[in-house]
Each structure stands twice: as structure tokens, then as C-alpha cells.
């Protein structure tokens, strides 16, 4: 029994459901909860310490850890060669020439109206702020243009929030796994991550609420709509409970809604802030972008917040880039005007390519497992063994660039059994990519697992 308990705790650590460097329950407390003897729990903790999955300090308790030497290096994201045959590191689409041409023609007419101005719009172009505000209003969240701040993509919006709301050394609650570039931004802002697990079944209510109550982080960065990378959609009742807990703890909620428009099997979710009660909405910042729904090449993102916070963010902006491109914002306006045509066509394309990826996985890699995501742009694939980093490195030689699952975790070493595979490429390429990944996994010398299974596991 103690071997089974040790293996269960090890699995939870590797899957990110128990964070690294946190204190495990005392043996005398855990034993009655599991209806086991204290001797059984003590023996399990001894095995975890012996194999490197736990550390103990006299008088301080036992803490989760990973064995020494198991800190895998990530494949560099966004740095792949232009000549790479198949790139699976970016979950985004291109835009058809016809759509771009039509949007440019429309924006050229509008540009003439702005040519005589300085072109410096600190808060963003008024036409675009109005268009974005109208989208929120149509989705059930009344919004005024002065509540919208246009940024150069969602990543810049997130950086502005870290600078405005947090101080070095402060804590940010993040999902585990989560968007890697957000984690990098948190590190560069010298903030401390407080991870809460997201599994294939979604978010753990008790852990989130306990974290908000005990840590009271300054900010929580969450992706409730088709979570990146798991694809999970947070239920409405859970959103309401999270809002209540955040209000009590005084935590700002930075809600990343860049995947909201990629609903495939369910209705498009309403804005997170639309579920807020009196006094709760002021601490919710919605982050949006055109990168996933339209085209990342425009570099158009936005924040929805209180006018007071928008004013503060605008003050920060002058230290970075003063204003965004007028032409890009006019093109964005032209694209948003055609959402009733463009988005349904995009959704149909995503559904087709999701089916192509799932078929390829069933055909070439039936031993791998994944959930059918109800939305989003990628599948969170379980390889069944902790070899994701080694596979990603070897796959480069097979003409495929992909990220190891560990890249999506604030705790290096976890999710070594996972790959995020976007379905944003044509079906033929997706099939070929999976075939090559399987070939890389099984061809040549067996891959070395990044985290070795303890000897007590059969």
C-alpha cells in the first residue's frame, strides 16, 4: 500500500496537480484522511525522499521535489528555422489573400481621414475602441469605448498589467499548465508564480479558492475559455465562485479571452466579467486579441478595464511605444466589420483540421491519448511516458518543430509526458507531422525518459 501511495503522489507531481516546492501534509494528518496507518504514510514519504520526489527539513516538514538532474531544456519557441518543413510551435492561422486585400481596400478609404493627424492615438484608434466595445456589448457585457485600451497584441497587454498592478517579488496565480509566453513575462517582471492545476477534467475549485484565501495573490492570470493548452472550458458556476473568492482576497483577475471566438462544439462563451455581481467587475481585466480569430500579423490586442486603470496604462505606454500603427488598426476595424462572415468560415476550417489531427493520432499513434477539445486551437496529448523533451529534440531531425509539455509549466520537469499539438495546419500536413513524430519516437535508439520511474513501480 505504501508503494501505491508513493506512486500516486509522484504521478500528481509529474502531472502538475501538486506543485513543486510545496509542503505535503504531515504524516499524522494524512493517515486518517486516507484511512491508512501512520506507518504506511511514513514509509511512502521515505520512498519519495529516497527517489528524489520529496525533501525534508527537520522541524519544517516534507516538501515536493523532482530528482536531481531532471530539469529538461525546452526547445526554443518562435526561433525555428524558416525552412522547417512542419512547425507545430505556434497555434495560429494565416489569412487569405482575398480577405487581406478587401480589408486593405476598406482601410485605405478610412486612412485618408487620418492622414492629416499626427497618428499618435495613445489609447488606440477611436474607431477600433468603439468596434471592440460594441463586441462586448453584443455578447452581454455593456461596454463603453473609454473602457477599451488597444495594444500591440495580447502579450503587450499582459506586460502592461504586470507593470501597473504588481511590484517585483509579488505573487501571480497562474494555471498549471498555461501559456508559456505569459510565464516568461511573469519571470521578466520579477514576479513569483503560484500555480493551480488544470487537468483534462478542468480546474480544481478547492485548490483555487484555497490559494486565493491563503496566498491572496496580487493578480491571477487565467484562460477560462478553451484553455491553452488543455482546451478546457470553465463552467459558469465555477466562474461565479471564483469571482466571489477573488473579491474576498482582493485579487485582480486578468482573464485571457483570446481563444473565446474559437468555440467549436459549444456556444461562444459570454465575457467572464458578465458574471460579476455588484462590486466585483472593477477588479476584472479582460484581455482580447485578433491573433487567434483573425491574424496574428496585425498585432492587435486590447484590454477591457475601468477608465481609471486605462488612464494609468496609457501613462505606462508612453515609455514603450507611444501608440500603435494607425494602418493596422484600420485594417482591424475593416475585419471586425465582417465578423459575421469571417468567423463562421474560420470555425468551419478549425473543425475540419481538428478532425484531421484526431484521425491522424488514431491512425499513427493509437497508444497516445487526448481529449476532444470543445474549442481552441490545439490538443493536449498524453504520450504515456515522460519523453516529451527528448522527442521534441529528436523530431527536429525529422523535419518537425514542436514544444515539450514541460514548456507550459511554471514547474520545470512536469508534463514530460505531454505534447501540445496545434491543429492550425492543413490536414495533409497534420497527418504527416504525426507520422513523423511517431517515427522519431520509435526509430533508432530508445528515448531516455526525462524523469525516471522509481524502482518500486512495476
Model confidence over 282-328: pLDDT tens digits? 999 999 999 999 999 989 999 999 999 999 999 998 888 888 899 99
19 assigned to some structural domain: yes
* Average pLDDT score over the chain: 90
Query: Are 198 and 238 spatial neighbours (Cβ–Cβ below 8 Å)?
Result: no
C-alpha cell at 345: 468560415
The Cα 420–Cα 410 span in angstroms is 16
395 and 292 in a common domain:
no
Q: Could you tell me the CATH number of the domain that includes residue 16?
A: 1.10.10.10
Query: Are 452 and 67 spatial neighbours (Cβ–Cβ below 8 Å)?
Result: yes
How long, in residues, is the chain?
458
The Cα 221–Cα 395 span in angstroms is 32
Q: Are strands 301-304 and 284-289 parallel, antiparallel or unpaired?
A: antiparallel
Element (H, E) at 54: strand 54-57
User: What's the pLDDT tens digit per position in 235-288?
Assistant: 999 999 999 999 999 999 999 999 999 999 999 999 999 999 887 889 999 999
Lowest mean pLDDT among 66-75, 171-180, 187-196: 66-75
CA angle 8-391-411, nearest 5°?
Answer: 45
User: What's the pLDDT tens digit per position in 370-416?
Assistant: 999 999 999 999 999 999 999 999 999 999 999 999 999 998 778 99
Q: Taking the CA of residue 278 as centre, how many other CA atoms within 13 Å lie in the half-sphere pointing to its CB?
A: 0
Sheet strands (E) in 181-335: 192-199, 202-203, 219-222, 252-256, 284-289, 301-304
Q: Once rounded to an integer, what is the mean pLDDT over residues 430-458?
A: 77
Residue 458: its pLDDT value, please?
40
Q: How confident is the model at residue 230 (pLDDT cuts 50, 70, 90)?
A: very high
The Cα 20–Cα 56 span in angstroms is 13
285 and 346 in a common domain:
no
Q: How confident is the model at residue 77 (pLDDT cuts 50, 70, 90)?
A: very low
Residue 54: its pLDDT value, please?
85
The Cα 250–Cα 252 span in angstroms is 7
Element (H, E) at 346: helix 339-364
215 and 200 in a common domain:
yes
Q: How confident is the model at residue 72 (pLDDT cuts 50, 70, 90)?
A: very low
Kindly give, in sequence order, each residue whose CB lies less than 8 Å from that of residue 136, ignoring residues fewer than 6 positions away. Answer: 142, 143, 271, 286, 304
312 and 295 in a common domain:
yes
247 and 116 in a common domain:
yes
Query: Which residues on adjacent β-strands are paired with residue 183?
Result: none
The Cα 51–Cα 420 span in angstroms is 28
347 and 318 in a common domain:
no
Helix (H, G, I), strand (E, B) or coil at 8: helix
71 assigned to some structural domain: no
User: What's the pLDDT tens digit per position in 31-60?
Assistant: 899 888 988 888 888 888 888 888 887 777
327 and 355 in a common domain:
no
Nearest CA-CA partner of 338 in 104, 91, 92 = 104
Query: Are 409 and 176 spatial neighbours (Cβ–Cβ below 8 Å)?
Result: yes
Q: How confident is the model at residue 451 (pLDDT cuts 50, 70, 90)?
A: low
The Cα 331–Cα 109 span in angstroms is 11
The Cα 93–Cα 293 span in angstroms is 8
Q: How confident is the model at residue 453 (pLDDT cuts 50, 70, 90)?
A: low
- Residue 76 confidence (pLDDT) above 50: no
Residue 73: its pLDDT value, please?
46
Query: Are 440 and 391 spatial neighbours (Cβ–Cβ below 8 Å)?
Result: yes
- Residue 81 confidence (pLDDT) above 50: no
User: What's the pLDDT tens digit per position in 196-227?
Assistant: 999 999 999 999 999 999 999 999 999 999 99
The Cα 266–Cα 351 span in angstroms is 12
Q: Could you tell me the CATH number of the domain that includes residue 332?
A: 3.40.640.10
Structural domain of residue 24, as residue ranges? Answer: 2-64
135 and 50 in a common domain:
no
174 and 323 in a common domain:
yes
| Residue ranges in 250-325 assigned as alpha helix (H) | 307-317
- Could you give the number of structural domains in the chain? 3
Residue 328: its pLDDT value, please?
93
Residue 193: its pLDDT value, please?
96
142 and 55 in a common domain:
no
- Residue 444 confidence (pLDDT) above 80: no
Nearest CA-CA partner of 287 in 418, 405, 148 = 148
Lowest mean pLDDT among 18-22, 61-65, 177-181, 290-294: 18-22
126 assigned to some structural domain: yes
Q: How confident is the model at residue 448 (pLDDT cuts 50, 70, 90)?
A: low
Query: What share of the chain has pLDDT > 70, as a percent?
Result: 94
The Cα 153–Cα 296 span in angstroms is 8
229 and 137 in a common domain:
yes
- Residue 78 confidence (pLDDT) above 60: no
Query: What share of the chain has pLDDT > 90, as a percent?
Result: 67
270 and 159 in a common domain:
yes
DSSP string, 149-208: EEESSHHHHHHHHHHHH--TT-EEEEEES--HHHHHHHHHTT-EEEEEEEETTEE-HHHH
Query: Are 174 and 221 spatial neighbours (Cβ–Cβ below 8 Å)?
Result: yes
In angstroms, the Cα distances linking 188 to 161, 312, 337 are 13, 21, 37
In angstroms, the Cα distances linking 449 to 78, 340, 380, 415 are 25, 48, 19, 12
Q: How confident is the model at residue 69 (pLDDT cuts 50, 70, 90)?
A: low
451 assigned to some structural domain: no
The Cα 342–Cα 326 span in angstroms is 22
Q: Say what the alpha-carbon torsion angle 254, 257, 258, 259 is, to the nearest 10 degrees.
A: 140
Residue after which a domain boundary falls, among 337, 368, 384:
337
C-alpha cell at 59: 522541524
Residue 7: its pLDDT value, please?
84
Q: How confident is the model at residue 80 (pLDDT cuts 50, 70, 90)?
A: very low
CA angle 182-391-446, nearest 5°?
Answer: 155
- Residue 344 confidence (pLDDT) above 80: yes
189 assigned to some structural domain: yes
C-alpha cell at 182: 505569459
In angstroms, the Cα distances linking 352 to 53, 94, 345, 439 are 42, 16, 11, 25
Amino acid at each position: 500500500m505504501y508503494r501505491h501511495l508513493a506512486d500516486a503522489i509522484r504521478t500528481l507531481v509529474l502531472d502538475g496537480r501538486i506543485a513543486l516546492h510545496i509542503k505535503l501534509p504531515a504524516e499524522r494528518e494524512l493517515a486518517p484522511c486516507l484511512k491508512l496507518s501512520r506507518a504506511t504514510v511514513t514509509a511512502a514519504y521515505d520512498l519519495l525522499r529516497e527517489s528524489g520526489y520529496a525533501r525534508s527539513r527537520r522541524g519544517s516538514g516534507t516538501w515536493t521535489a523532482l530528482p536531481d538532474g531532471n530539469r529538461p531544456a525546452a526547445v526554443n519557441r518562435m526561433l525555428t528555422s524558416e525552412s522547417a518543413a512542419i512547425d507545430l510551435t505556434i497555434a495560429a492561422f494565416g489569412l487569405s489573400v482575398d480577405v487581406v486585400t478587401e480589408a486593405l481596400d476598406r482601410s485605405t478609404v478610412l486612412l485618408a481621414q487620418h492622414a492629416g493627424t499626427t497618428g499618435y492615438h495613445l489609447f488606440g484608434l477611436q474607431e477600433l475602441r468603439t468596434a471592440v466595445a460594441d463586441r462586448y456589448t453584443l455578447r452581454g457585457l455593456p461596454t463603453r469605448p473609454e473602457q477599451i485600451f488597444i495594444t500591440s497584441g495580447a502579450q503587450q497587454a499582459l506586460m502592461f498589467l504586470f507593470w501597473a498592478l504588481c511590484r517585483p517579488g509579488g505573487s501571480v496565480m497562474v494555471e498549471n499548465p498555461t501559456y508559456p509566453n505569459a510565464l516568461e513575462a511573469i519571470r521578466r517582471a520579477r514576479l513569483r508564480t503560484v500555480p493551480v492545476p488544470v487537468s483534462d477534467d478542468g480546474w480544481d475549485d478547492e485548490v483555487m479558492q484555497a490559494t486565493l484565501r491563503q496566498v491572496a495573490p496580487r493578480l491571477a492570470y487565467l484562460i477560462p475559455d478553451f484553455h491553452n493548452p488543455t482546451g478546457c472550458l470553465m463552467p459558469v458556476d465555477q466562474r461565479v465562485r471564483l469571482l466571489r473568492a477573488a473579491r474576498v482576497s482582493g485579487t485582480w483577475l486578468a482573464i485571457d479571452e483570446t481563444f473565446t471566438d474559437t468555440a467549436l462544439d459549444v456556444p461562444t462563451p459570454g465575457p467572464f466579467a458578465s458574471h460579476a455581481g455588484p462590486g466585483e467587475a472593477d477588479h476584472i481585466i479582460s484581455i482580447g486579441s485578433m491573433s487567434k480569430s483573425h491574424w496574428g500579423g496585425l498585432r492587435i490586442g486590447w484590454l477591457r478595464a475601468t477608465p481609471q486603470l486605462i488612464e494609468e496604462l496609457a501613462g505606462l505606454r508612453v515609455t514603450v511605444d507611444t501608440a500603435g500603427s494607425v494602418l493596422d488598426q484600420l485594417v482591424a476595424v475593416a475585419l471586425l466589420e465582417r465578423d459575421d462572415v469571417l468567423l463562421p468560415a474560420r470555425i468551419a476550417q478549425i473543425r475540419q483540421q481538428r478532425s484531421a489531427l484526431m484521425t491522424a493520432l488514431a491512425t499513427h499513434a493509437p497508444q497516445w491519448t487526448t481529449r476532444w477539445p470543445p474549442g481552441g486551437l490545439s490538443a493536449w496529448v498524453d504520450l504515456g511516458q515522460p519523453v516529451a523533451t527528448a522527442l521534441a529534440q529528436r523530431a527536429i531531425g525529422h523535419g518537425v518543430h514542436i514544444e515539450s509539455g514541460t514548456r507550459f509549466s511554471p514547474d520545470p520537469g512536469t508534463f514530460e509526458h505531454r505534447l501540445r499539438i496545434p491543429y492550425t495546419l492543413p490536414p495533409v500536413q497534420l497527418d504527416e507531422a504525426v507520422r513523423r513524430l511517431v517515427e522519431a519516437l520509435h526509430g533508432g535508439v530508445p528515448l531516455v525518459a526525462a524523469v525516471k520511474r522509481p524502482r518500486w513501480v512495476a
